[in-house]
Structure 1
Amino acid sequence: MKAENISDASSRAYQFLRERIVAAGLKPGSRISEHDIAAELGMSRTPVHDAVLRLATEQLIEVRPRAGTFVTRIAPAALEEALLVRGALELMVVEKAAERAGIDALAGLRAVLARQSDAAREGDVAAFRQLGDEFHAALAAAAGMPGVWSLVRQPKTHLDRYRMLVSPAPGRMTAALLEHGDILRAVETRHPGRAAQAMRTHLRHLVPGLNVALALKPEYVTAR
């Protein structure tokens, strides 16, 4: 196999494993067999091993010498850190969006929100969450800062993992839609302060309290 092909295979293995971990197809604490993954993807173990090492640097996989390779459990400290980073960046983004959003950007935000409303009505949690991400990415684009969403995505990985393990609280999708609507109205009416306040409210409700996390899914969460 040529070096270029190994690189492509490593990227494919990385995306495959990362998506399964974030989507909770591979649960926190579960063992990973490089041999089985390689067989499933139709490749040698080398690119799978490279992918595992890469994911270990992102704290999604833990390699324990003489014990095995495991999906990391979710640390409440990582959730707190992700909320802090996301909050700081998204407050800046939404204020700039309120100052800069053009007609096309506003139309795009409305379209995403309409599709998210459809997903909520249909009870499609996966689509609802994906469209929520699209809404936030569209805000960054409206602010003229599309690259900021890429900075948000890495720390929010831990939030995404947790949210996939815990079903939305009753009424949460409806509430999130209302919060997105408040954000959009503040952006449309050019009120950066109101937009930032609406975003703060929304981010506070993204996940339940971290102590609740320990009670709901103790087998998936670390003690600290």
Structure 2
Amino acid sequence: MNLNLQAYTTILKKIINTTYTPGQKISEKELIAKLKIGRTPVREALLRLRQEQLIDAIPQSGTYITKIDLKVAASARFIRESIETRVIKEAAATNDEFAIAKLNTIIANQKFFSQKKQFEKFFAEDEAFHQEFYQMTGRQQVWDWLQTINMQLNRFRMLRLKVEELPWDNLITEHMNILNAVKNHEPEEARRLIANHLHLMLDEEDTLIKTFPDYFTNIPTDKKQVL
């Protein structure tokens, strides 16, 4: 990994997992010191992150992590649901025992990380679970494309894992049900389950806004009453 990509990947990860919180001020000088990477790669990384609307440079003030844009996150969820409901139906028509075994392992890993409250590793397994269906159906490139529009959505999903009243066990149970539908070759049931699963953002939005009122922008008018 070249230094530009290394700097970008490291900072991006800290934004997605909310190590750098929405609205937090960051310093190029401090990033250089912490990452132990030269000024040019860090500047290139910050420029790319600014283009992706994950950081904002305000004149006479400084550089800040952008707040989570709920409108962008909701649009990404809509696109992902539209695509993934088709992918899951294709997956349910396959007979890939290796993929099924891999998915079972992912769920086992999720249970372990849930017990340990290791939310970053839990999230990584969550991503791996969904990605596997794209791989099963030869749609890996589609998954890669989705990652370019999923950043605000992933920030929302990662933050969700930090809310105590939104237990992780529910996510695991839904994954198990989705896997069973795929394993039993039930495409319509798999489609219904994945649609409900990806609908969670809308169901849980009020709770996250109430818990982290300063972390979001473009809050829908009907949601502002929860603040």
* TM-score clears 0.5: yes
Cα-to-partner distance string for 1:7-65 (whole Å, 9 max, x where unaligned) = 92221111111111111111111112112212223333222111111011111111223
Aligned partners of 1:41 and 1:129: how far apart in 2? 23
- Aligned-residue RMSD, C-alpha: 2.0
User: How far apart in 1 are the matches of 2:23 and 2:202?
Assistant: 21
Tell me which of 128, 153, 157 is aligned to 2:147.
Answer: 153
Q: Provide TM-score, normalisation by structure 2.
A: 0.87
**Residues in 1 aligned to 2:191 and 2:101: alpha-carbon distance in whole angstroms:** 20
* 8 Å CA contact 1:30, 1:70 repeated in 2: yes
Paired with 2:187 and 2:101, the residues of 1 have a C-alpha distance of 18
Q: Which runs of 5+ in 2 are unaligned?
A: 220-227
The percent of aligned pairs where both chains have the same amino acid is 28
The verdict on how the C-alpha distance between 1:147 and 1:130 changes in structure 2, with shifts beyond 3 A counting, is same
Structure 1 residues 54-87: Cα deviation after superposition (integer angstroms, max 9, x where no partner): 0111111112233221110112102211211211
- 1:215 aligned partner: 210
The equivalent of 2:45 in structure 1 is 51
SS in 1 for 2:11: helix
Equivalent pairs, count: 218
Partner residue in 2 for 1:107: 101
Mapped partners of 1:70, 1:122: distance in 2: 32
Whether the 8 Å contact between 1:97 and 1:144 is mirrored in structure 2 is: no
CA distance in 2, matches of 1:159, 1:114: 25
Query: Matched residues in 1 for 2:201 and 2:111: separation?
Result: 17
Distance in 2, matches of 1:223 and 1:89, equals 25
Q: Does 1:204 align with 2:199?
A: yes
Structure 1, gaps ≥5 residues long: 1-6
CA distance in 1, matches of 2:102, 2:122: 16
Alignment partner, residue 189 of structure 2: 194
TM-score normalised per structure 1: 0.88
Change (3 A) 1:99 1:20: same
Residue 3 of structure 2 corresponds to residue 16 of structure 1: no
